[in-house]
Chain A
């Protein structure tokens, strides 16, 4: 690895002993010898298998649940429904006061997405659990589903989630997260050109090779050891404690190597119900998603719709940017209100624009709840922003990299969400990229600095 030492040379001693040196990773030996321990590389005597009965409908009222036939199936030990869960209503981010609780561990009254967990079956073997799950009879009254952002925001749309009472998350700023900076209409009026474009994305599944799951062992001292591949150990501990109404010291969460996460294992879905099952049966419980569940049930990255309107001058300056963004949370919040909020702060991009207006909505639909995935809230935003930047450059006949130099934020610039820019280094990154990519730009851009604004 080559360190470009010409940049910020006065800020460094260059006495690194680790950075710039190749080092062996400590976990590689286990990986190549097959000795790395993943949560599922354990078996326990008397272990039960949990299989979930799931909603076949996008949106339906539950009229009745009949588990009598399933209970008689050979090998079945216990069947759990909503009434068995001590605190069935929860939401992950209540830990940081982002409520309201809007999701049930096991469905009560209604199902709001195709795949929602309704009944948990515990049996001696995986096969018995699966066969018994097929014998659980749930009677539904099918309701009209809301399957797109546009449909969700229609005035007469069916309500997806009664805990919100409307098909969008209500922020303290109102129906969306808002940013107002300068006067965007004045900026558009002064602009040489206006460009408005709409960008859309579909949900994206993380598809880790190791599926989501956990194994819970009830210990003799009254504690429960939960071997899990969660990426969010403390979210899991604290939410399990709330859901189970059990003090945290009784929950021993054991993490370890995760066989691919990418944000898909940040939800708290499998652990609380598996711990409850271990508590009620007194036996070890394994709850591991099948490949089908991983692809269909685990939260994907949200679908998004982003409308960007920019005002640009012939000399390359963007003078106004208005963005309306919609994040499809699916049926429940999980991490989406946070993702949509993060998007709002991100939308001006790494550019200094004097007039900015952002509206970022977190919308509820009867789709699979979306949640965390690698930079969620900003990844699709960046796709939209940077495609928009290329289009703007083309519109005014300017080189796309030079166009970005003109608008790049510098240290000391105030961002639209009122955070001053510090340690930006964007100019220097683009200078280096210009050299490495052999994409030459004019001398004046190579003389720029992110720390001092010229002229």
Chain B
């Protein structure tokens, strides 16, 4: 089967691969580009574990054809920290114990990142709405909500 070229910016670096037509962004990120921070929890768009950010929009990588990401800016949880310096959301997730098995965490942090980029001072309801597409089966949602609100507070203190 003829392969097609996909090329986009992944966490600031230009990346290109030849992939099978019909490949999802999730499989290209994980299997071709070696970024396994987006997870395959359902591959039917219902769990949110594969969430990434494409041109600023929260995107389910499992339902996105890789070729539609051509020329776009793709961000994943793996690109959030710079070296040892954690993003405020990552720090807050650690401090609030907002992860247990960790499988939903990268997607959850992506959803929260988009929220804080658009709304630096979200209410509790805003946070609940923002993570409503992401399923966590371990900790429950309270520590996650607390972490996102704490990250927003630490951002506004820093600013």
Contact B30 A209 (CB under 8 A): no
Contact with B along A224-259 (1 / 0, CB 8 A): 000000000000000000000000000000000111
With a cutoff of 8 Å between Cβ atoms, the chain B residues found around residue A210 in the complex are 39, 41, 49, 101, 103
Quick check: is A31 within 8 A (CB to CB) of the other chain? yes
| C-alpha spacing A35/B135, complex, angstroms | 19
Interface size class of B (residues with CB under 8 A): 35 or more
Which B81-113 residues have C-beta < 8 A from chain A? 81, 86, 89-91, 93-94, 97, 99, 101-106, 109
A-B contact pairs, 20 of them (CB 8 A): A32-B93, A32-B109, A33-B81, A34-B76, A34-B106, A35-B78, A38-B36, A41-B30, A41-B36, A209-B49, A209-B104, A209-B135, A210-B103, A257-B102, A259-B102, A259-B103, A260-B101, A261-B101, A290-B43, A291-B43
B-side residues, CB < 8 A to A, are: 30-31, 35-44, 46-47, 49, 76-78, 80-81, 86, 89-91, 93-94, 97, 99, 101-106, 109, 135-138
A-side residues, CB < 8 A to B, are: 24-25, 27-38, 40-41, 43, 206-211, 257-262, 290-291
Given contacts A259-B39, A291-B42, contact A28 B99 (CB under 8 A): yes
**Most B C-beta atoms less than 10 A away, residue of A29, A33, A207, A260:** A33
| C-alpha spacing A32/B90, complex, angstroms | 5
Interface SS of B by simple majority: loop
Interface SS of A by simple majority: loop
With a cutoff of 8 Å between Cβ atoms, the chain B residues found around residue A36 in the complex are 102
Contact B44 A33 (CB under 8 A): no
Contact B78 A33 (CB under 8 A): yes
Given contacts A209-B137, A290-B43, A291-B41, contact A30 B102 (CB under 8 A): yes
Contact A38 B41 (CB under 8 A): no
With a cutoff of 8 Å between Cβ atoms, the chain A residues found around residue B49 in the complex are 209-210
With a cutoff of 8 Å between Cβ atoms, the chain B residues found around residue A33 in the complex are 37, 77-78, 80-81, 86, 90
Q: Among B36, B44, B86, B103, which residue has its beta carbon within 8 angstroms of that of A32? A: B86
Contact B93 A258 (CB under 8 A): no
Contact A209 B41 (CB under 8 A): yes
| C-alpha spacing A261/B89, complex, angstroms | 26
| C-alpha spacing A43/B94, complex, angstroms | 29
Query: Which residue of A is nearest B106, CB measured?
Result: A34
| C-alpha spacing A319/B35, complex, angstroms | 63
With a cutoff of 8 Å between Cβ atoms, the chain A residues found around residue B94 in the complex are 24, 28-29, 32
Q: Among B39, B44, B76, which residue has its beta carbon within 8 angstroms of that of A38? A: B39
With a cutoff of 8 Å between Cβ atoms, the chain A residues found around residue B106 in the complex are 34
